[in-house]
Amino acid sequence: QSSTNTGNWDEDLARYRNALFSHFVTMLPQLGHAFPDTRIILRPHPSESQKVWQEAAQGCANIEVIQEGSVLPWLMAADVLVHNGCTTAIEAYLLDRPAVTYQPMTSDRFDRHLPDSLSYPASSLDELIAKIRPFVEKPDQSPHTREQQDILEHHLVKKDDELAADRIVDILKNAELAKKSPAKSSLQAYSKGWIKAQLRRGQKRLNGFVPGSKNSFKYEKHRFPGVTLSEIEAGISRFHERLDRFSNIRAEQLHEGIFKIQEK
């Protein structure tokens, strides 16, 4: 089944994702009953409420809804990941964990093809359960195919002796962005852009008081609960301990949620 193309991208995408969401809500208790002796962890998207998932999991003691913390420890311990177009499937692949993409409906416009192509597809509940069962019963089997490996290598540059962050910095340095000053705008163009930015900012602030808006303060707080200076400093300390680098780095809080990280 494909999504209806009305020409309005946002409306079509919302309709498509809502339909997929409904399929997953229906699927969750079915998995719980199909694998009663298997612990099932449901990880809601950061923007989602846990309530609907908790209601769907009622009656299934083997299902837990856990939103806190990093997904990586769960992936490392998992027999199999179930998803639809989620980049977590790429992380699962790199951790040598199998993934099944549940696709009760598809769309060339909206599906994320890379994570799905690194997974085993299932278009129905029966097929999903059948694809999951071998990995649950024999979790030590090889989870990936040669075709999947070729797909990943086409998209991923992997260097064991160099961090991605270092490579990004090198590219920025080589581009010599600091030496290229942008063309100066006219006063009229600058003023027009400044006014637009202020209007947009003001509209977002007003939307913060509107329930259900993506800019609502409650929703923003749910998606981005914030970080403290001590958490930033703890992160720097972990990098120092594991990489033997960044001993001369300090963090300074400039505003709520805004930090300056620089050399001491």
Q: What is the pLDDT of residues 207-264, one digit of tens each?
A: 777 776 777 777 777 677 788 999 999 999 999 999 999 999 999 999 988 999 999 8
Q: Based on the domain organization, do 140 and 226 belong to the same domain?
A: no
CA distance 4 to 205: 33
CA distance 22 to 42: 15
Q: What amino acid occupies position 107?
A: S
Picking from 138, 155, 172, the residue at the C-terminal end of a domain is: 155
The helix-helix angle for 125-137 and 9-34 (nearest 10°) equals 50
Chain centroid offset of residue 173 CA: 28
Q: pLDDT below 70 — which residues of the chain?
A: 1-7, 159, 176-183, 212, 222
For residue 223, tell me if it sits in a domain: yes
For residue 180, tell me if it sits in a domain: no
Strand partners, 100: 82, 120
Q: What is the pLDDT of residue 84?
A: 97
For residue 47, tell me if it sits in a domain: yes
What's the predicted TM-score (pTM) here?
0.73
Q: Based on the domain organization, do 48 and 133 belong to the same domain?
A: yes
For residue 255, tell me if it sits in a domain: yes
Nearest CA to 35 out of 101, 97, 79 is that of 79
Q: Based on the domain organization, do 130 and 24 belong to the same domain?
A: yes
Residues spanned by the domain of 39: 9-155
Q: What is the pLDDT of residue 2?
A: 47
Q: Based on the domain organization, do 250 and 138 belong to the same domain?
A: no
